[in-house]
Structures are given as structure tokens and as C-alpha cells.
């Protein structure tokens, strides 16, 4: 297990305490039951900004605190444990990473807004049911000094209520990233409620006129900017999913310690002990892998891309193991809505699909090894 630095330990402690007290699972239940259109309380963005979290990966010259990806992972892990709903992944991690690596006037203008909690952004990339960043049909064409955008994006996480969209499109047969106002003429945003009751959107672009400044990354650096943002997103998503797995496992372990059957604690049954031990080991191994990925990104290491994919794939597997074992060991009550396990299971499944499932990243890793 990694020994956290003093700064990282402070971030972890602050995140655990603040979220457990102010945004626990009960708060998420209330949001779900109220049918909140954003899937989160917009006030949380300002609260997280006040703690420096919305600018966690942004450099100081863009208004951020530059705590890095490891710190972002610690925050996300605490969010996973509490099922805290907030546009952290979309805005503070992926959106901020795009601005950080793209630079330019948009980053200089909007970076401080993201860090201050004054804006929410969402990455509009996916066009089908599965993560396929190399298959983009949305197209931008040049017109005068600007562009015209046409296409359709699905499952734009936090797309409802976003102040700006980062749209992945092709321009001159090469990938490009555009900064788009979702209220602009020709843009249609339709809410899509995800399995975990979080906010997503189906977005269509029909002849959307953009000025030249809307292009934040073109042929020269679009691939690199997007790759960096996706690597950050994968690694931090893995950390959140690990938090979900830990919470589900701890609830299950507590149940094993208290539930009696045939006059005996079920935790004394050897078969359940073996399953619990296997789950505990799997979580700790995944924790080490996620930490390695986040640290590699902070260090700019060459293996950051591969480690982020390995962590994302592994977190999906252990998340499924933790939630399914939890339901099974709880027996019939594990399937009821009164139990939090079902909420953790739904969040786990949504995170598994976000930015690519285990199969997608395992396939990439194998192909890199020539297998």
C-alpha cells in the first residue's frame, strides 16, 4: 500500500470528512428521489471550488492549485465511497486537462472560471453505445474565418446544464476539439438519465456556426490533448470506482460480522471468509495500480497511458466483484432499494462503461504487446 505524502494525506482526510458529513449516500438518495434535473446540487461546485478541488489539476497560471492527478484521485475515491454527485470528473479532471494541455485564449479565459466553480464543462465525444474515440463522424468544415459544425453526440456526461461543451470533431480529415456554447443556434440538448441516475445528454449540432476562436486544438495537437485528457479521466475514474468498491465491500464485511444464521455469525463460515479475503486482496491490488497510474501522470512518465488503461480495466473488474459479492452475501435483502448496495452497483456499472470498459482497454494493452 502506498504511503501518502503529507499533502496528499491532508487532501484525503479533508475529502473523506467533508463528503461524509455534507454529501453522503443519504444526500444522493434525496437527489435521486427528487428527480433533480442536473443529478447534483449546483451548490456543490462552489463548495468544491472553495476547497481547491475544481482547480486540482490546473496550473496556477490558469487559476488552479496544481495539486495533480493523485490528489484528484483521492477526492474521487471519497466521492465514490459516498456516492457524491458532482461534475468533478467532467469539469475538474477532463475539461481542465483539455484546457491545461491545449492552452491559448480559451484556457486563459475559462481556466479560472472552472477553478472558481463558476462554470461546468462536458466532453462531447461518444457517438454510439460504446467508447470509440477513434470513430468520430461529427464534422466541422471551414467557412470564412470560422467553422460550421454538424453531428450528434450521445451520453455527454454532465451535458445538461453545462456552460460549455468540448466537442470532438473531424476537421480537414483530422481530429479537432471545439469550445461550443450549448445554447448556440443549431445546438439541441436532450437529457438522458443514466443507470446511476446521473446527468447525461444527447446533443445534436445542425449547421452550428463557430468563430475561429472556438478551435481549441487542431491538427497539430488535438490527438495529444485528447489523449492526455482521456488518460487523466480514466485514472481518476478508476479511483472513484475503487471508492465504490471499498464502500460496498465494507458494508458486506460489517454484515458478515453481525448477521447470524443457525445461531452463528455468518462471518465464521469458512467459505464466506475465503470470498471476503479474496475481495479484500483484489481491492488492495487495484488501489496500488490506480495509485501508480495517477503518480505516473503527475510525473509525465511514458507508461502513464498504459497504466491508466490498466487501472480502468482492473477497477471495472473489482467493482463488479465487490458489488456482486455484496448482494450475494447479503442474500435477498441485498436486492432491495432500502439497501445502499444497489446504488453502489448502479454507479459501478456506469463507471465501468465511462471512457471504455475492461474489454476495450484490455484489448488495447494486448495489441500494444503484439498479442
Name the residue range of residue 37's domain. 6-119
Domain check: are 40 and 153 in the same one? no
User: What pLDDT band is residue 371 in, cutting at 50, 70 and 90?
Assistant: confident
Q: What is the mean pLDDT of residues 124-129?
A: 94
What is the pLDDT at residue 70?
A: 97
1 in any annotated domain: no
Distance CA 122, CA 224 (A): 18
- Judged against a pLDDT cut of 90, whether residue 68 lies above it is answered with yes
Three-class SS state of 119:
coil
Mean pLDDT on 37-51: 95
CATH code, domain with 213: 2.40.110.10
Radius of gyration of the chain (CA): 21
Domain-terminating residue out of 178, 200, 217: 217
How many angstroms separate the CA atoms of 231 and 148, rounded?
29
Q: What is the pLDDT of residue 1?
A: 67
Residues 98, 16 within the same domain:
yes
Final residue in a domain of this structure, among 60, 85, 119: 119
Same domain for 243 and 364, yes or no, is yes
What is the rounded CA–CA span in Å between residue 58 and residue 18? 22
Per-residue model confidence (pLDDT) at position 268? 67
Grid cell, residue 144, equals 470564412
For the residues 232-249, what does the mean pLDDT come to? Answer: 97
- Both 104 and 92 in one domain: the answer is yes
Whether 239 and 364 map to the same domain: the answer is yes
**Per-residue confidence (pLDDT) for residue 37, from 0 to 100:** 87
Instruction: Choose one of 197, 217, 237: the last residue of a domain.
Output: 217
- The pLDDT assigned to 297 comes to 97
Query: Residues 324, 232, 300, 53: is their CA dihedral positive or negative?
Result: negative
Task: Find the distance separating the first CA and the last CA of the chain, reported in whole Å.
Answer: 31
pLDDT tens digits, 132-177: 998 999 999 999 999 999 999 999 999 999 999 999 999 999 999 9
Q: Are residues 143 and 235 in the same domain?
A: no
Please write down the HEC assignment for all residues of 287-303.
HHHHHHHHHHHHHCCCC
* One domain, residues 247 and 210: no
For residues 357 and 168, give the distance between their C-alpha atoms in angstroms, rounded to a whole number. 20
| Grid cell for residue 348 | 459501478
Q: How many CB atoms lie within 10 A of CB 270?
A: 7
pLDDT tens readout for residues 247-272 = 999 998 888 888 777 777 766 678 87
141: phi then psi, degrees, rounded to nearest 5: -125, 150
- Phi and psi dihedrals of 361, rounded to 5? -80, -30
H runs (alpha helix) in 40-142: 43-50, 69-82, 96-102, 104-115
Nearest to 235 by CA among 321, 301, 166: 301
Contacts of 336-340 with C-beta under 8 Å, sequence gap 24+, read: 340/25, 340/83, 340/247, 340/251
CATH number for position 17: 1.10.540.10
Position of cell 450528434? 152
* CB 114 within 8 Å of CB 46: no
How buried is residue 202: exposed, middle or buried, by Cβ count under 10 Å (0-12/13-18/19+)?
middle
Residue 272: predicted pLDDT: 78
Count structural domains, the chain: 3
Q: How many helices (DSSP H) and strands (DSSP E) are in the chain?
A: 11, 10
Residues 104 and 179 in one domain: no
How many beta carbons lie within 10 A of that of residue 164, not counting itself? 22
Mark whether 291 and 245 lie in a shared domain: yes
- String of DSSP letters for 242-253: HHHHHHHHHHHH
> Would you state the cell numbers that stand for residue 28, as one nine-digit string?
444522493
Query: What's the rounded mean pLDDT across residues 232-258?
Result: 94
- The CA distance from 76 to 319, in Å, is 15
What is the distance between the alpha carbons of residues 299 and 75, in angstroms, rounded to a whole number? 19
- Rounded (5°) CA angle 29-30-32: 65
Amino acid at each position: 500500500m502506498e504511503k501518502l505524502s503529507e499533502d496528499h494525506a491532508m487532501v484525503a482526510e479533508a475529502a473523506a470528512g467533508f463528503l461524509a458529513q455534507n454529501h453522503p449516500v443519504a444526500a444522493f438518495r434525496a437527489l435521486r428521489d427528487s428527480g433533480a434535473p442536473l443529478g447534483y446540487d449546483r451548490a456543490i461546485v462552489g463548495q468544491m471550488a472553495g476547497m481547491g478541488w475544481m482547480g486540482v489539476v490546473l496550473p496556477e497560471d490558469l487559476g488552479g492549485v496544481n495539486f495533480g492527478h493523485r490528489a484528484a484521485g483521492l477526492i474521487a475515491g471519497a466521492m465514490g465511497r459516498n456516492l457524491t454527485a458532482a461534475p468533478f470528473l467532467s469539469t475538474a479532471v477532463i475539461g481542465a486537462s483539455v484546457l491545461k494541455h491545449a492552452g491559448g485564449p480559451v484556457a486563459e479565459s475559462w481556466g479560472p472560471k472552472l477553478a472558481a466553480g463558476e462554470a461546468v464543462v462536458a466532453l462531447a465525444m461518444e457517438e454510439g453505445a460504446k467508447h470509440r474515440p477513434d470513430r468520430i463522424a461529427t464534422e466541422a468544415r471551414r467557412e470564412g474565418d470560422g467553422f460550421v459544425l454538424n453531428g450528434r453526440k450521445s451520453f455527454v456526461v454532465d451535458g445538461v446544464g453545462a456552460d460549455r461543451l468540448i466537442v470532438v470533431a473531424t476537421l480537414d480529415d483530422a481530429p479537432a476539439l471545439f469550445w461550443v456554447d450549448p445554447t448556440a443556434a443549431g445546438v439541441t440538448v436532450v437529457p438522458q438519465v443514466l443507470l446511476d441516475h446521473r446527468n447525461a445528454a444527447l446533443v445534436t449540432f445542425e449547421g452550428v456556426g463557430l468563430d475561429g476562436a472556438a478551435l481549441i486544438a487542431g491538427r497539430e495537437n488535438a490527438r495529444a490533448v485528447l489523449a492526455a485528457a482521456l488518460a487523466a479521466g480514466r485514472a481518476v475514474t478508476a479511483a472513484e470506482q475503487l471508492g465504490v468498491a471499498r464502500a460496498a465491500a465494507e458494508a458486506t464485511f460489517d454484515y458478515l460480522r453481525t448477521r447470524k444464521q443457525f445461531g452463528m455469525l455468518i462471518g465464521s463460515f469458512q467459505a464466506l471468509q475465503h470470498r471476503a479475503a479474496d475481495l479484500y486482496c483484489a481491492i488492495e491490488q487495484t488501489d496500488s495500480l490506480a495509485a501508480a497510474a495517477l503518480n505516473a501522470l503527475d510525473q509525465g512518465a511514458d507508461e502513464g497511458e498504459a497504466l491508466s488503461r490498466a487501472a480502468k480495466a482492473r477497477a471495472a473488474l473489482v467493482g463488479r466483484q465487490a458489488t456482486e459479492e455484496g448482494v450475494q452475501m447479503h442474500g435477498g435483502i441485498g436486492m432491495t432499494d432500502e439497501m445502499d448496495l444497489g446504488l453502489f452497483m448502479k454507479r459501478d456499472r456506469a463507471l465501468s462503461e465511462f471512457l471504455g470498459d475492461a474489454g476495450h482497454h484490455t484489448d488495447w494493452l494486448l495489441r500494444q504487446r503484439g498479442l
